[in-house]
Amino acid sequence: MAKQPMLKFVNVARDMPEKRPPDLRRGDFNEIYGEYAREKAAEQSGRCSQCGVPYCQSHCPLHNNIPDWLRLTAEGRLQEAYEVSQATNTFPEICGRICPQDRLCEGNCVIEQSGHGTVTIGAVEKYITDTAWDEGWVKPITNGGERKEKVAIIGAGPGGLAAADMLRREGVQVTVYDRYDRAGGLMTYGIPGFKLEKDVVMKRIAQLEEGGVDFKLNTDVGTDITFAEIRDSFDAVLIATGVYKTRDLQAPGVGAEGIVNAIDFLTASNRKSFGDAVPEFDSGELNAEGKRVVVIGGGDTAMDCVRTSIRQGATSVKCLYRRDRENMPGSQREVQNAEEEGVEFVWLSAPKGFTGERVEGVMVSKMRLGQPDATGRQVPELIEGADYLEEADLVIKALGFEPEDLPKLWGVDGLEVTRWGTVLADFQTHETSLPGVYACGDIQRGASLVVWAIRDGREAAQAILAQLAGKTTAPVAAE
């Protein structure tokens, strides 16, 4: 009888791929986790108990068939594991790296609930697809025949790219517009290399280009081309523009030099890593080297800013957050990584104001957690008389993002938005209030995650294909 490769969680402990020591990590922007060796991946996959009702799968936004690819990995059938994994996920190696697994698949793994430590689902997913790339199992994008229908996608982030991939595989002509000079959206310019090395993203973009996706980069819709022009020239349009308006602070002195937005700071750092000329980095404006840095915020963007500052050579890095560790929105795994690298978290602290024409310090108010609000979250309350001055040479505001007012920006009548300013669209078909216009990713759901953008993009592509199929008797668009 064949040896049972699964259910090993009782005897085999959870083991993540090796993490580089903090001293080494601090010196570069390379990813911090290594790769499993083949035997290790098989061993860790074999810890899965093959649940009849796999909560890991139901809590993965893509409903990845996790138990099956874990079993195939445990059995050494890696190519089949890759085929199963890529069937539901356009970018499995990216999700394996940057999904907050502790809040999604792994956080709901039943063996975690029973105290044995979750199966390392993300690390195995990354391993499978990295291996597939190395072995040449990742095939070019092909289709069974070119079609005449044309779809425009505005925004080359994960949402737009996932849709582009699916549409090209059906032979649809796809043009992707993006205002930046590189595709990838926040995967390219927001998320730092120590979480997601850029060649991983660029490889996928090359695959899409080679698969026939026409990228129109350096093209800002609303400035370089109007939305109406695009709508007139295509059979369907997908809006996947993400959310980029920085939530701001209202506090005295907030306009001082040296107080910068997180997205500007992270984009400059990522551009520098690509070897681009970045005058704002070279001038010191968006560079933490030799500075006392204070980052304001408790989400994943704040975590990326503190860890980027460390790598740029800041003399000290502090993170101010108005709630405590247990109540922060950012991933606990990232807080731990940041602490290991030398970041100091100052919990229950909020900025009251800033000193200096060029920033010299942050006036910090101390907070305590009061009664829960309607959402159940405890509300931070001010502790009177506990203010103090935190000296700083660079302050980075990482308070979250809001959608821009697209209908106004693009002069589009009839494109409805929600009260939060996101584009109103059906959550299954992603169709907006304008016929033939779809929306996906952050611009539909508000600042979220790469994996949700991928899911939305895939769903939107399905709905567009259904729309195009319904149009088969109608005249095709002019070429």
Contact positions toward ligand SF4, by CB under 6 A?
Answer: 48-51, 54-56, 60, 62, 64, 66-67, 89, 95-96, 99, 101, 104-105, 109-111, 119, 121-122, 125, 451
Q: Quick one: 59 or 231, whose CB is closer to ligand SF4?
A: 59
Q: Tell me how far CA of residue 452 lies from CA of 27, 102, 414, in angstroms.
A: 32, 15, 26
* Residue 234 engages ligand FAD in binding (rule: CB under 6 A): no
State in angstroms the smallest separation of the CB of 240 from ligand FAD: 5
User: Binding to ligand FAD by residue 222, rule CB under 6 A?
Assistant: yes
Decide whether 119 or 399 has the Cβ nearer to ligand FAD.
Answer: 399
CA distance 310 to 292: 10
Task: Scan for tokens 């092909």, then name that residue.
Answer: 142
Q: Tokens for 240, please give them.
A: 């996947």
Whether the Cβ atoms of residue 188 and residue 180 lie closer than 8 Å to each other: yes
Q: Is 159 in the site for ligand FAD (CB under 6 A)?
A: yes
Least gap, CB of 363 to ligand FAD (angstroms): 26
Distance CA 415, CA 41 (A): 48
Residue 401 beta carbon to ligand FAD: minimum distance, rounded to whole angstroms:
7
For residue 341, the partner it binds in ligand SF4, ligand FAD, none, with Cβ less than 5 to 8 A by kind, is: none
Check: CB of residue 76 under 8 Å from CB of residue 37.
Answer: no
Closer residue to ligand SF4, CB minimum distance, 103 or 216? 103
Nearer to ligand SF4, 76 or 212 (CB): 76
In whole angstroms, give the CA distance from residue 262 to residue 139. 37
Binding of ligand FAD by 154 (CB under 6 A):
yes
Residue placing its CB nearer to ligand SF4 in the complex, 200 or 359:
200
Q: Which residues pair with 378 in a beta bridge?
A: 372
Beta carbons of 397 and 369 less than 8 angstroms apart = no
**Considering the rule CB under 6 A, would residue 185 count as an interface residue with ligand FAD?**
yes
> Which listed residue (201, 266, 320, 364) binds ligand FAD by CB under 6 A?
266
Is 315 within 8 Å of 342 (Cβ atoms)?
A: no
How far is it, in rounded angstroms, from Cα 400 to Cα 248?
8
221 binds, among ligand SF4, ligand FAD, none (CB under 5 to 8 A by kind): ligand FAD
Q: 230-269: buried (b, 16+ CB within 10 Å) or exposed (e) per residue?
A: beeebbbbbbbbbbbebeebebebeebebbbbbbebbbbb
Q: Taking the complex as a whole, how short is the minimal distance between the CB of residue 449 and ligand FAD, in angstroms?
A: 3
Q: How far apart are CA 153 and CA 155, in angstroms?
A: 6
Task: Check residue 449 for interaction with ligand FAD (CB under 6 A).
Answer: yes
The stretch among 8-16, 43-51, 107-115, 449-457 that binds ligand FAD (CB under 6 A) is 449-457
Which ranges of 211-328 would DSSP assign to H, the alpha helix? 227-233, 262-274, 279-282, 300-312
Q: Is 380 in the site for ligand FAD (CB under 6 A)?
A: no
Q: Of 51, 22, 478, 45, nearest to 235 (Cα)? A: 478
Q: CB of residue 177 vs ligand FAD: minimum separation in angstroms? A: 5
CB proximity list for 156: less than 8 A, separation 6 or greater: 176, 177, 178, 180, 183, 184, 185, 205, 215, 217, 240
Q: Is 300 in the site for ligand FAD (CB under 6 A)?
A: yes
Piece of 106-114, 250-258, 376-384, 438-446 that binds ligand FAD (CB under 6 A): 438-446
Residue 177 near which of ligand SF4, ligand FAD, none (CB within 5-8 Å, type-dependent) = ligand FAD
Q: Which does 64 bind (CB under 5 to 8 A by kind): ligand SF4, ligand FAD, none?
A: ligand SF4
Q: From the list ligand SF4, ligand FAD, none, pick the one residue 241 interacts with, judged by a Cβ distance below 5 to 8 Å according to partner type.
A: ligand FAD
- In whole angstroms, give the CA distance from residue 285 to residue 256: 12
Tokens 């790769």: give the residue: 35
Contact 125, 95 (CB under 8 A): yes
Q: Does residue number 201 form part of the binding site for ligand FAD (CB under 6 A)?
A: no
Q: How far is the CB of 269 from ligand FAD (least distance, A)?
A: 10
Residues in contact with ligand FAD by CB under 6 A are 98-99, 154-160, 177-180, 185-187, 190-191, 195, 220-222, 240-242, 266, 300-301, 304, 441-443, 448-451, 453
